Chains A and B, each alone.
Chain A
Amino acid sequence: MKFDPFVLPFTVGLTFMISVLLYQYFRWYLLLSAKEKTIVRTNLFTKRTFFGFREIFSESLFHKKIFAKNRLLGYMHMSLAFGWFLLIIVGHLETSAYFGKAFEAPYVPIFLRFFQNEATHQTAQFGYWFVMDTILLFILSGVFLAWYKRKKAKKFGLGRATKHAIGDRIALTVLWFIFPLRLLAESITSILYGGGSYLTFGLGSLMEGTIANEHTFYFSWWAYSISLGLFFIFLPFSRYMHIPTEIGLIMLRNWGLKTEKNKMSCISQFELHSCSSCGICLDTCQLTTDLNSCYSQAPYLYKSVRNANLTDAKLNDCLMCGRCELSCVVGISNNNLRQSIRNKVSNKTESNLNYLNDIKLQPINKADVIYFAGCMSHLTPGIKRAMESIFKAASVNFSHLDQYESVCCGRPMMLAGMTKQALPLINKNKDLIAQSGAKILVTSCPICYKVFKEDYNLDIEVVHHTTYLQNLIDSGKLRLQKSEMKVVYHDPCELGRGSGIYEAPRQVIKRVASLKKTDYEKEQALCCGGSLANTILTSSERNILANAALKKMTNDKIHTVVTACPLCKKTFASAQKEIAIKDIAEIVEMNLIPMKVIRTKSKKVPSELLLNNNI
């Protein structure tokens, strides 16, 4: 049996790592619901598994998506991942070629040059040595780039690199040492005992008579083994956990599992540990670019959850605009994951909304269409009035769901992690909607729209007023004139990235104004800064975000910004005075023909209603 004490650190490290990984994965496996298990079982022996393996090759080894971001960064990741993979595969092939056995102890292929270095004068052997040297050179180029990236992140297309916790730093340092130590060990072996090709023999020749001797030979193999062992021990507790976990994530995703927003499920755990802290998302975050606040972004959040040192500010200082999700090369659904962490933290927070059962609201009139302005539209009443005018101009039989006092849709509470506690609000609104007998629910607020659409399970159609306006225009119910206004459109996060509605507002605006392009269209849209998801930002910081977003969108050339969210409108409008902020409903109302429709003044609240509500 081939054995030497120096293989012990490697073997112990490897055994430890495998045990911890198996333990972790088993714990996450227990989180799979019966439904999820059925999904996996049905898709296990289908082409989805093949697609999974294909994705593992293209993403975990070749890092295709990182290549698309930046070639140098892609090469760095590929040389380390694919290079190491090749080193293991070719090492095993070489071992079985030498010893004629299919399997050897796991350390033999790793330390092969120690156990087998005599030349047998076979061409294949020289071929293996040449190939192995080339692969090692390939990986070393990646190690050099990784080190260089720490100094000059900008050359790799990164505005900044992630700051690492102490555990990650140690693992990183150990990783940087592994391959140079292998090179050293193989070079010394090459010159003392033979074996090796241009790289190891070449370097060995330089060290001949100086560094290379019996002691350094043995010492270097020990050092190589220790560095590998240490790396394996640190791997499950550092960001390098992403290496094995991402493979599992890709398979689960291909089998059809999706991250839930309300529960830390099995796939959420895989996502949490698949973040490699690469830092690509940091540059897309407006908190980083505009406020230079870099501590609460997804990589830092996940790190703190993994290391059990999560703080309230880290969890809640996020706009949840979804810009980072688009840039994530691992495809982690950051918003859902952050939401489920918030839910887990706040699910026991006390809340008592039972008073909603006893409140008396104005009766909801029966109508075909029911309009929910939302809390935010009550603070931007222009939107509400414009919608009323439009409904009347198009002769729509509509009624208000929240004409005087609104019951909140529940999403602000949900965003603060109190999903369970928001249930009375959802039930109350569901009752009110049922009372109306309407077939369509129109809402002006994308925040409400998203929750009505995704969490209410309503039987009726839910549309945002942008889509509704487009339908009215397409069906010829609204006659509009095109004004000479030059405007840019701001995609609200919840409507664009959140709900995928990009075209409807643009089509509507094009009918009434001249729509100019910006550098931040559709998925690339900026957040206004007013997001309800962030409870930490101060009002002045919100103003900075709003002004920066406006400046980027208008370039000081356009003086009207159209949006489709009352919160965006309010945030932008209160941050500055130079640029006019209009809701899409308002500019449609401005360009209605014939202008017979007179703005309806909001009616007085019936006095008996006020008395009833003074509980």
Chain B
Amino acid sequence: MNHFGFTINKDNTIDYDNNDRSLANEVLSHEPSLYRCIQCGSCAGTCTAGSFTDYNFRKMHLLMRRGEIQHLRLAVEKCILCGKCQLICPRGVNTRNVIRQIRIALDKMN
């Protein structure tokens, strides 16, 4: 077989019709204030962990909504729960509880 010097990448299409919303739904049922999020990014701007890594609340929220559980798991474990995002949030999202609920839901999945 010929080697062309490249491999076929794994398909990373996110299928919105078939993605796994169960975790997002569970977290939202425990912390409905997340419905108010407008993805403004204030949380990402102030994030302590975000100043050291690629983690931030906004990105994590997006991963959760898309149902990308593996990426979400790697992201959420970087959070230090310092709560700056909660104080800065203009929409009053209870961010610390969102993180806690995601962690609980991920633990349950294990």
Please give the residue numbers on chain A whose beta carbons come within 8 Å of chain B beta carbons, in ascending order: 312, 316, 348-353, 355-356, 359, 375-376, 378-379, 405-408, 410, 412-413, 416, 418, 422, 425, 530, 532, 535-540, 567, 570, 574, 613, 615
The minimal Cβ–Cβ distance linking B60 to chain A, given in whole angstroms, is: 14
Do the beta carbons of B51 and A613 come within 8 Å of each other?
yes
Q: CA separation between A425 and B51, bound complex, in Å? A: 14
Q: Is there contact, CB below 8 Å, between A535 and B92?
A: no
Of the residues A348, A408, A535, A574, contact of B100 by C-beta under 8 Å: A535
Residue of B nearest to A537 (CB): B94
Whether B77 lies near A379 (C-beta < 8 A) is no
Chain B residues, CB < 8 A from A422: 80
CB contacts under 8 Å to A, within B82-99, are 82-84, 87-89, 92-94, 96-97
| A residues less than 8 Å from B53 (CB atoms) | 355, 615
Which residues on the B side are within 8 Å of A349 (C-beta)?
103-104, 107
Select A355's contact among B73, B78, B103, B104, beta carbons within 8 Å. Answer: B78
B52 touches A355 (CB 8 A): yes
Shortest CB-to-CB span from A374 to chain B, Å, is 9
Q: How close is A378's CB to chain B, nearest CB, in angstroms?
A: 7
Size class of the B contact interface (CB-based, 8 Å): 20 to 34
Select B94's contact among A312, A350, A407, A538, beta carbons within 8 Å. A538
A-B contact pairs, 17 of them (CB 8 A): A351-B77, A352-B78, A376-B87, A378-B46, A378-B84, A379-B46, A379-B84, A379-B87, A410-B80, A416-B81, A416-B96, A425-B80, A535-B97, A536-B97, A567-B87, A570-B87, A615-B54
Q: Mark B8-43, 1 if CB is under 8 A from A, else 0.
A: 000000000000000000000010010000000000
A350 touches B73 (CB 8 A): yes
Q: State the B residues within 8 Å of A (CB).
A: 30, 33, 46, 48, 51-54, 73-74, 77-84, 87-89, 92-94, 96-97, 100, 103-104, 106-107
Among residues of A, the one whose C-beta sits closest to the C-beta of B91 is: A539
Q: How far is the CB of B69 from chain A (nearest CB, A)?
A: 13
> Is A359 in contact with B82, judged by CB distance below 8 angstroms?
no
> From residue A198, how far is it (CB to closest CB) to chain B in Å?
62
Would A413 and B81 be within 8 Å (CB), given that A348-B107, A615-B52 are in contact? yes
- The docked-state distance in angstroms from the alpha carbon of A418 to that of B104 is 12
Which residues of the partner chain A approach B103 to less than 8 Å between Cβ atoms?
349-350
Q: From A418, A530, A536, give the contact of B81 (CB < 8 A).
A: A418
Please determine whether A532 and B33 come into contact, CB atoms closer than 8 angstroms.
no
Q: Which residue of B lies closest to A574 (CB)?
A: B87
A418 surroundings in chain B (CB, below 8 A): 81
Complex CA–CA separation, A372 to B79 (angstroms): 20
Contacts of A570 in B (CB 8 A): 87
Which A residue's beta carbon lies closest to that of B80? A408
- Which residues of B have CB within 8 Å of A408? 48, 80-82
Task: Provide the residues of chain A in CB contact with B80, threshold 8 Å.
Answer: 353, 408, 410, 412-413, 422, 425
Task: Tell me the smallest distance from the CB of A49 to a CB of chain B, in Å.
Answer: 44
- Distance to closest chain B CB from A360 (angstroms): 9
Q: A547 CA to B1 CA in the complex, in Å?
A: 74
Chain A residue numbers with a CB within 8 Å of B84 are 375-376, 378-379
Q: Of A416, A530, A613, which one neighbours B52 at CB under 8 angstroms? A: A613
Contact B100 A416 (CB under 8 A): yes
Chain A nearest CB from B58 CB (Å) reads 17
Nearest 3 A/B pairs, CB to CB: A539-B92, A408-B82, A352-B77
B81 pairs with A375, CB closer than 8 A: no
Q: Hey, which chain A residues are within 8 Å of B81, CB to CB? A: 408, 412-413, 416, 418
For the complex, what is the distance from the CA of A375 to the CA of B51, rounded to whole Å? 12
Further 19 A-B residue pairs, CB within 8 A, beyond A405-B52, A539-B93: A349-B104, A350-B103, A350-B107, A353-B78, A355-B52, A355-B53, A359-B52, A375-B82, A379-B84, A379-B87, A406-B48, A408-B80, A408-B82, A413-B80, A416-B81, A416-B100, A422-B80, A537-B94, A615-B53
| Interfacial chain B residues near A350, Cβ < 8 Å | 73, 77, 103, 106-107
Cross-chain contact B48 with A407 (CB below 8 angstroms): yes
Q: Report yes or no: B83 in contact with A375, Cβ–Cβ below 8 A.
A: yes
Closest residue of chain A to B74 (Cβ to Cβ) is: A352
Residues from chain B with a CB closer than 8 A to the CB of A535 are: 94, 96-97, 100
- Of chain A, the residue at the smallest CB distance from B79 is A351
- Taking a contact as CB atoms under 8 Å apart, the answer to whether A539 and B100 are in contact is no
Q: What separation, in Å, do the CA atoms of A1 and B107 have in the docked complex?
A: 62
Q: Bound state CA distance, A316 and B31, in angstroms?
A: 13
A406 to B46, CA, bound (A): 11
Contact of A539 among B33, B73, B82 (CB under 8 A): B33
A313 CB to closest chain B CB (Å) equals 8
Decide: A379 near B88, CB < 8 A? Known: A408-B80, A425-B80, A615-B53.
yes
- For the complex, what is the distance from the CA of A407 to the CA of B52, rounded to whole Å? 9
A379 CA to B43 CA, complexed, in Å: 12
